[in-house]
Amino acid sequence: MSARLLLLEDDPAIARTVAYALERDGLAVTHSLLVDDARRQIRAAHFDLLVLDVGLPDGSGLDLLRELRNASPTATLPVLMLSAHGEEIDRVLGLELGADDYLAKPFSPRELAARVKALLRRAGGRTSAGGATGAVHSPPAPGSARSLFQDDEAGQRISLRGQPLPLTRREYRLLAHLLRGAGRIHSREALLAAAWGDDSDSTDRTVDTHIKTLRAKL
C-alpha cells in the first residue's frame, strides 16, 4: 500500500509540481491550501508524513506543527517544513519546534522527494497518525536543533556544532532567549527586555541590527 502524505501549500503551482514528483515515486498525496483544511484532513484520515509550508493565508505551518507535537496521536508523525526563509536561525527554530527536516524555497522537487523517502525509511515501523485514536508510537527522537546548539548558561556561551560562537553579551542573551522560546512569535519589546533589561533606552532598530549580526555569525 502506498504511503500517504499530506501537503499543506498555498501556492497551487508549487503544490502541483511537488505532488507530481511525489506521486511519480508512488506516494499518495492529499493537498490542502489552508491550515484549517489540513487540520480536518489529519483528523479524518491516516497519513504517514506531512509536508507543511510555514507562511499560509490563515495561519502558520509552525503553529500546526506545535499542535501536532502536543497531541499524542501525532507526536511522532514525520514532518518536513517548507519555507521561503532560508536563514539558519529560521531553520533551527523550525527543527527545535519538532520538524524532522526543513527545506528552503526555491527547491528541487527531486530533492524534496528524496528527503520524503528518507524520512519514511527512518520512520520505519511507526504507526500512521490521524483519524482513529489509539495509535502506538515510539518515543520522540531528540530534537535536531538541540544537537546543533549547546547553551552554557553559566559561562554565557553558545556553541554551534561544537564550535563556540563569537557572541557579545547582548547577542548571547538575545540568541539564548530565541532558542528557549523556539516556535513562538517574539515582540521587539520582549527581545529588548531579554537582552537589554527593562530599563534600557535601546530602540527597535537596535534589536533589528543585532538579529542581522547574529544571522551573519551562524
Same domain, 11 and 100: yes
pLDDT tens per residue across span 78-91: 999 998 766 666 67
Looking at the domain assignment, is residue 138 inside a domain?
Answer: no
Same domain, 18 and 67: yes
Looking at the domain assignment, is residue 128 inside a domain?
Answer: no
Q: What is the pTM of this model?
A: 0.59
- Of 130-144, 146-160, 168-182, 188-202, where does mean pLDDT reach its minimum? 130-144
Looking at the domain assignment, is residue 77 inside a domain?
Answer: yes
Same domain, 71 and 176: no
**Phi (first) and psi of residue 102, to 5 degrees:** -145, 125
- How far apart CA 46 and CA 216 sit, in angstroms, is 41
What percentage of the chain reaches a pLDDT higher than 90? 33
Same domain, 117 and 50: yes
Tell me how far apart the 2 most distant CA atoms of the chain are, in Å.
62
Q: Model confidence at 138, in pLDDT bands (50, 70, 90)?
A: very low
- Average of per-residue pLDDT values in the chain: 80
- Count of other CB atoms within 10 angstroms of residue 113: 18
Give the structural domain span for 86.
4-123
Give the three cell numbers for residue 103.
527545506
Give pLDDT, residue 148.
Answer: 72
Whether 174 contacts 200, CB under 8 Å: no
